[in-house]
Amino acid sequence: MTDEMREHRTAKVLEQRAHDLLLGHSFAQRQIGYIHTLEIDYGAPMKQRTLLEVEMAAQKKRQKSSTAHHKYRAQASQQLHQVIETAMNKQLADIDTVLHETIGIEDNVPAILEVLAVKSASVGRLEPLVNDLSWLGRELVSFVNLPYYRKQRNKHTSVKVDNPSLALRYIGLDNLQFVVPTFAVRHWMPHSTEPFPLLKRRLRDNSMACAIAAQELAKVNGMNEMHAFTLGMLLDVGKIALVRLYLRTFELVWQRKVSIAREEQHKDLHTALLELKPDPLFLSTLLSQHALKVTAKVIEKMSFRYLPFNTVMEQLTAPLPKGESLLPLTVLMQKARCYSQYITLEEHQLIEADEKTVWLKHLNFTQSELNLLEKTNFQHFHIKID
């Protein structure tokens, strides 16, 4: 195996591990064969009472019954997920429905991002678009009234802002380029991600980290910061769609299967189905294999004219044609995505130093890029309100 192949393989493994972590720390640990300290054999086993013959027979019977039940439950889960996969593929084929109903993207959001991307942008052009999005207006008003940003404003004008139009003017066009895509993606996040309680927060944090990493990398490479930040923030929109679709489809298919099993009096199947929950392995694989492709379709459907994202997404999701080179923004997005995943894995002690070295080398990070990113705060906007 060549060094290049080894680096590529390591990168793929670590990307999958980052997706596993979204669904739970213990799940990610199990996927890499993590041994819990309670399972370690520290020496001679504790003495146990010798079982009576009747007890041994009962134990074997219970084990046999338990094994059969587990196999039956696994089979029920497999059949359930085959139906779910078919249903999801059908839904994903209708990208308009995915855009507007599954994720909940209103047409005004791409329109606002387009206005912010051009030199002729003005608050006057944004006002009617924002006023039609009550949730965005509320977010902007709440944001500008945060104590941190009120302190930055002139003490004579540091009054409480109570309407979106005034909030737009306080925040300013330059800052809105980063604030709007952030609030939009947060608004599209699933309301609940049970039985994965931390998934929503981790999706939100990863999107923010990717966007900020992209912004900082754009800064050091002399590229458009707004383009980099916006695409970095949108990069996980496919994950949002897939999480929403999977959890919703699982619930619908599961309820139907349970009802049929109950009506037809299939007791074993009914019992097995009642024990089933959304499968983290199925969802992790789904996110790893399809999220970027869904993002590419969603961004294409947004029909941006002034944001050069379509070709970048094509390069991120399909093999590069012979003789074609990656666009600078594509390279930047690969690095931003990698670094945001890396800092999450490091925070949870799920990446080794040698794995980090191979991963960053594979994507050709420069030392100046790494120096900048190591000093970066990935949780807050890098903006200042005058």
The parent domain of residue 267 ranges over 75-101+190-380
Q: Please report the pLDDT score of residue 162 as a whole number.
A: 86
Are 287 and 367 contained in the same domain? yes
Q: Provide the number of structural domains found in the chain.
A: 2
Single out the residue in 141, 171, 188 at which a domain terminates.
188
| Mean pLDDT of the residues in the chain | 88
Are 341 and 367 contained in the same domain? yes
Q: Which residues of 219-231 are buried (b: 16+ CB within 10 A; e: fewer)?
A: eebebbbbbbbbb
The CATH number given to whatever domain includes residue 337 is 1.10.3210
Are 357 and 295 contained in the same domain? yes
Which parts of the chain fold into alpha helices (H)?
A: 3-22, 25-31, 53-92, 95-97, 108-117, 123-131, 134-144, 147-152, 164-171, 173-188, 199-220, 225-234, 237-263, 267-275, 280-301, 310-317, 328-347, 353-362, 367-374
293-337 pLDDT, tens digit each: 999 999 999 999 999 999 999 999 999 888 899 999 999 999 999
Are 114 and 87 contained in the same domain? no
16-29 pLDDT, tens digit each: 999 999 999 999 99
Choice between 66 and 298, residue whose per-residue pLDDT is larger? 298
Are 144 and 288 contained in the same domain? no
Could you tell me the pTM of the whole model? 0.88
Single out the residue in 172, 188, 204 at which a domain terminates.
188
Single out the residue in 188, 222, 246 at which a domain terminates.
188
